Amino acid sequence: MKGYAGKFLEVNLSSENVKETILDEEILSQYIGGRGLATKILWDKLGKNWERIEPLGSENLLLMLTGPLTGYVPGARLCVSGKSPQSNGVVGSTVGGEFSVELKCAGYDGIIFYGKAEKPVYLFIKDSEVELKPANHIWGKGSQETLKILVKECREELASRFPRRGLWKEPQIVYIGPAGEKRSRIAVVAAKWAHAAGYGGYGGVMGSKNLKAVVVKGTGPLPDVVDMKKVSTLINKILDINFRNIVFRRWGTGNLGHDVGSRISSEPVRNWQEEWHNEESYGSYEFEKYWVKRYWADFGCPTSCLKLAVIRSGPFEGAITDNPDYENQAYLGPNLGIFNAEENIYLTALIDELGLCGIQTGNVLGFAGELYEKGILTKQDLEGVELKWGDAKAFATLAQMIADRKGIGDILAEGTHRAALKISKLKGVDVSLYDVTEKGIAIGAHGIRSEEDYPGYESYACSVQAGDHTSVARIPLDHGNSELRSLLYDTGVFCWFNFFEKEAQDLLWPFIEAVTGWKITEKQWIETVGRKILHIQRALLLLGGPDMQWVPRKDDDVPLRWYIPLGAGPYKGKAVDRERLNRDRKEYYEAIGWDENGIPLPTELKRLGLKDVDRKLDEIRKPLPKY
Amino acid sequence: MKGLSENERVWIARDYLKCSGCRRCEIVCSLSHEGKIWPEASRIRVFMLIPGVEVPHLCVQCHDYPCLKVCPTKALSINKQTEAVIVDKEACVACGKCIDACPGKIPYIHPTENYALICDLCSGRPKCVEACAAGRWNALEIIKKSDTHTFKLYAKTPEIITRDIASQIYGKKWRETV
């Protein structure tokens, strides 16, 4: 089997048993890797009782999967998955860096974690030697300390075990911060720094298993491919196309911010009360002043959309982060009424350090900010914090409380949607208007009211990853931003950002063939291979549970706030048109093969050999009321 | 390569601050020498002891070649044209003496074979530099080698280089990290 290392690691944290498994070619050729394979594994192992599986309980699985294209297609990523404590479905959450390549070089296509360790541990993999080690000394530590300690102690161990080999390069590491340890639903699985698998909340899952980090050193080559010469040619073509993407190369996604996100009115401002601002002080050039590295990249990547921002003096001295990227610029900036690059860099670095997700945390901080503005949350509720828009220090204090689950931070650590339900109950006031999420997941910083950004009306409502802006539903199904396309990237597993151009996208089918020998056409992907994965993901999202279950069709909606017209800017007055949303949603259901309530059709599931999924879905195919 | 004639000796200039950490150099080096993408068998290795401080580490061709002097099996020789250190895979016993003698601890043992890995300058047209130039990162650049310059000053361990770069970009406290 080409492109694969051929083995998976199964680690039972409860029994400390580690074993190698081989997945047969039949499964891999259908579900490939990453998100596709995660969906299949989760369905097989947990599907029967899905609605009863507690995402933060020991019966959930934590998956770290590569794909056959990982390391070959420029821009390597790792796919982290499991039952999501945010959506109660499956999210294929990816993170850039070298970890996935190193894991394949160690001889593994992925790791499946079961159970829960009795005490904090980390997993150390050196090729086929795999060991669980105590992590008490790093439990409670932030990103910077965790990495420092692990790199040092693991390199020392390698040097003492293999003294004649010469200097060891650092092993690759994924880890959680304090927020993940506290089982926050908005915690990330992090890599390097400023790298995170954010959507899904798998940092909380990792923390619930008492797993602080996974460290890997793989000394082998990437697995053999069918035709290396062809792979090299395809790599070079993808590089050439992306060397031309001068905007992303120079500013990364930070080319948005004031210059794009706000100008086209799709950027969250003060908890989405607006999507437009005119603060020139928040443009790309303001951020460039803090960059100590203009081109920072992950394995094989021509684009280097990352930039290294550092604050060297003043009250925020010592802050280190990426760019920040557009999502963090928006969510930890205008969404909190902050229009100052330095404060945004500080907040982003803090969120990284705590192991929180910039999007989910920025969303819940904005939500709290608005409740404070409206007088629903008081200074007393916030343990003395005066949460005024624009006050970076106040929001930083609240972020720290979320990571520590201290005071109101304990409720906010559950993410915006769950916090909104709790606070509504506690205060006796309906706060759902301020809850800008989709099925438990805070929506990426790309609004749809102005209809100028890339997502459309159906995008979040019908996505199997809900608010995830990197996996939006689009019609027609062969749309350049279709969810089936995101699914391909997350299943491959590699970065989306080198595939904005059709010219590059078209190279992926020959790429798959040159690596694996499998001939998959775009048509086959859309109609069978990818579609099948999407249906299972959809089924698991609708099965949900145990703390909440989405109501078919009714919950395929957008946040209430988006039905309120934009109050300012060039798109003033624009709001989501409910009738059109209903129409677009219906059209999407029909195109993808779901019934009028968004449940995958029996005929469609049978066509794809998913009879077991069909039977399970009968449990939720009861007559639904008219909405 | 531009401006250099066939017979001129080249040296790979390195600017750590410009390194993006994309590892394209490791990819092309291992593809060219091993026929595979194999970062741990690349003759140039990017160390990332601290994220953001990526250090491409490769032979500097010291004028006095301390590695050569200590080799017990005469497995190391100098290519007359490029002045690169050439490892005789058959003669090398992977004893590691060249690593100890190298002021930058640059050579290391092949992960599966029994010999040391040292940059051979790709017979004068280093692939790593081409890859770096293609992306316009220019962390690696070809310059004409000159007898009057002490290239050996670049033979530092990745730890020392990391400390210098980290304290420069992140602040002094990062000196203690590695």
ipTM of the complex: 0.97
Residue B1: per-residue pLDDT: 47
Of B27, B52, B109, the CB nearest to A166: B109
Using CB atoms within 10 Å of the CB of residue B5, give its burial: 0 to 12 exposed, 13 to 18 middle, 19+ buried: exposed
Residue A599: per-residue pLDDT: 98
Q: Who contacts B1 (Cβ-Cβ below 8 Å, separation ≥6)?
A: B10, B125, B129, B130, B142
* Number of Cβ atoms within 10 Å of the Cβ of B123: 11
With CB atoms and an 8 Å threshold, state whether B51 touches A147: yes
- How far is Cα B103 from Cα B62, in angstroms, rounded to an integer? 9
SS3 A190: strand
With CB atoms and an 8 Å threshold, state whether A105 touches B40: yes
Average pLDDT of chain A is: 96
Which two three-digit tokens encode residue B14? 């390195």
Tell me the chain A residues in contact with residue B100 when contact means C-beta distances shorter than 8 Å. none
With CB atoms and an 8 Å threshold, state whether B169 touches A308: yes
With CB atoms and an 8 Å threshold, state whether A169 touches B169: no
pLDDT tens readout for residues A587-626:
999 999 999 999 999 999 999 999 999 999 999 997 666 6
Tell me the chain A residues in contact with residue B99 when contact means C-beta distances shorter than 8 Å. 166-167
- How far is Cα B20 from Cα B134, in angstroms, rounded to an integer? 13
Of the pLDDT bands very low, low, confident and very high (cuts 50, 70, 90), residue A381 is very high
Least confident of A242-256, A308-322, A366-380, B30-44: A242-256
Of the pLDDT bands very low, low, confident and very high (cuts 50, 70, 90), residue A285 is confident
Residue A203: per-residue pLDDT: 98
Distance from the A207 Cα atom to the nearest Cα atom in chain B, whole angstroms: 23
Tell me the chain B residues in contact with residue A166 when contact means C-beta distances shorter than 8 Å. 96, 99, 105, 107-109, 116
pLDDT tens readout for residues A21-34:
999 999 999 999 99
Residue B130: per-residue pLDDT: 98
- Taking the Cβ of residue A300 and every Cβ of chain B, the question of whether any pair is shorter than 8 Å is answered with yes
What is the count of residue pairs from A and B with beta carbons less than 8 Å apart?
126
Q: Give how far Cα A197 sits from Cα of A91, A120, A186, A470, A561, Å.
A: 10, 21, 11, 12, 27
| A50 has a pLDDT exceeding 60 | yes
- Taking the Cβ of residue A318 and every Cβ of chain B, the question of whether any pair is shorter than 8 Å is answered with yes
Cβ contact B159:B147 at 8 Å:
no
Task: Please name the residue of chain B whose CA is at the shortest distance from the CA of residue A162.
Answer: B109
* Bridge pairing between strands A8-12 and A110-114: parallel
Chain B contact probe: residue of A144, A156, A167 with most B CBs at under 10 A: A167
Of B39, B45, B94, the CB nearest to A164: B94
Percent of chain A with pLDDT over 90: 96
Question: Hey, which residues does B14 pair with through a beta bridge?
Answer: B140
Which two three-digit tokens encode residue B125? 């047209």
Chain B contact probe: residue of A227, A241, A299, A311 with most B CBs at under 10 A: A299
Q: What is the mean pLDDT of residues A341-355?
A: 98
| A282 has a pLDDT exceeding 90 | no
Task: Please name the residue of chain B whose CA is at the shortest distance from the CA of residue A291.
Answer: B169
Chain A contact probe: residue of B27, B30, B32, B98 with most A CBs at under 10 A: B27
Q: In terms of Cα–Cα distance, which of A581, A551, A570 is closest to A455?
A: A581
SS3 string, chain B, reads: CCCCCCCCCEEEEECHHHCCCCCHHHHHHHHHHHCCCCHHHCCCEEEEEECCEEEEECCCCCCCCHHHHHCCCCCEEECCCCCCEEECCCCCCCCCHHHHHCCCCCCEECCCCCCEECCCHHHHCCHHHHHHHHCCCCCEEEEECCCCCCHHHHCCCHHHHHHHHHHHHCCHHHHHCC
* Number of Cβ atoms within 10 Å of the Cβ of B1: 13
Percent of chain A with pLDDT over 70: 99
Q: Computed over its alpha carbons, how large is the radius of gyration of chain B? A: 16
Of A72, A301, A310, the CB nearest to B169: A310
Q: Who contacts B175 (Cβ-Cβ below 8 Å, separation ≥6)?
A: B163, B166, B167
Full pLDDT tens readout for chain B, 178 residues: 455 666 679 999 999 999 999 999 999 999 999 999 999 999 999 999 999 999 999 999 999 999 999 999 999 999 999 999 999 999 999 999 999 999 999 999 999 999 999 999 999 999 999 999 999 999 999 999 988 888 999 999 999 999 999 999 999 889 888 8
Of A151, A232, A243, the CB nearest to B31: A232
* Bridge pairing between strands A320-322 and A306-310: antiparallel
Q: What is the mean pLDDT of residues A81-91?
A: 98
* CB crowding A103-120: b at 16 or more within 10 Å, else e: bbbbbbbbbbbbbbbeeb
Tell me the chain A residues in contact with residue B157 when contact means C-beta distances shorter than 8 Å. 167
* Bridge pairing between strands B45-50 and B53-57: antiparallel
With CB atoms and an 8 Å threshold, state whether B41 touches A300: no
Tokens 């050996």 — which residue? B152
- Taking the Cβ of residue A366 and every Cβ of chain B, the question of whether any pair is shorter than 8 Å is answered with no
With CB atoms and an 8 Å threshold, state whether A220 touches B112: yes
Predicted TM-score (pTM) of this structure: 0.98
Tokens 């390097």 — which residue? A192
Tell me the chain A residues in contact with residue B112 when contact means C-beta distances shorter than 8 Å. 219-220
Of the pLDDT bands very low, low, confident and very high (cuts 50, 70, 90), residue A284 is confident
Residue A606: per-residue pLDDT: 98
With CB atoms and an 8 Å threshold, state whether A193 touches B52: yes
Residue A627: per-residue pLDDT: 58
Distance from the A474 Cα atom to the nearest Cα atom in chain B, whole angstroms: 32
With CB atoms and an 8 Å threshold, state whether B169 touches A293: yes
| A286 has a pLDDT exceeding 60 | yes
Task: Please name the residue of chain A whose CA is at the shortest distance from the CA of residue B50.
Answer: A148
Tell me the chain B residues in contact with residue A310 when contact means C-beta distances shorter than 8 Å. 169-171
Which A-chain residues 167-226 have CB contacts (< 8 A) with chain B? 167, 169-170, 192-194, 218-222, 224
Tell me the chain A residues in contact with residue B137 when contact means C-beta distances shorter than 8 Å. 295, 304
- How far is Cα A248 from Cα A303, in angstroms, rounded to an integer? 7
- Taking the Cβ of residue A322 and every Cβ of chain B, the question of whether any pair is shorter than 8 Å is answered with no
Tell me the chain A residues in contact with residue B178 when contact means C-beta distances shorter than 8 Å. 152
pLDDT tens readout for residues A126-168:
999 999 999 999 999 999 999 999 999 999 999 999 998 999 9
Of the pLDDT bands very low, low, confident and very high (cuts 50, 70, 90), residue A304 is very high
Task: Please name the residue of chain B whose CA is at the shortest distance from the CA of residue A96.
Answer: B22
Q: Who contacts A25 (Cβ-Cβ below 8 Å, separation ≥6)?
A: A1
**Helical axes A341-354 vs A358-373, angle rounded to 10°:** 120
Q: In terms of Cα–Cα distance, which of A432, A340, A440 is closest to A395?
A: A340
Tell me A527's DSSP state.
I
Of B36, B105, B109, the CB nearest to A164: B109
* Number of Cβ atoms within 10 Å of the Cβ of A622: 8
Tell me the chain B residues in contact with residue A193 when contact means C-beta distances shorter than 8 Å. 51-52
Distance from the A233 Cα atom to the nearest Cα atom in chain B, whole angstroms: 12
Residue A256: per-residue pLDDT: 66
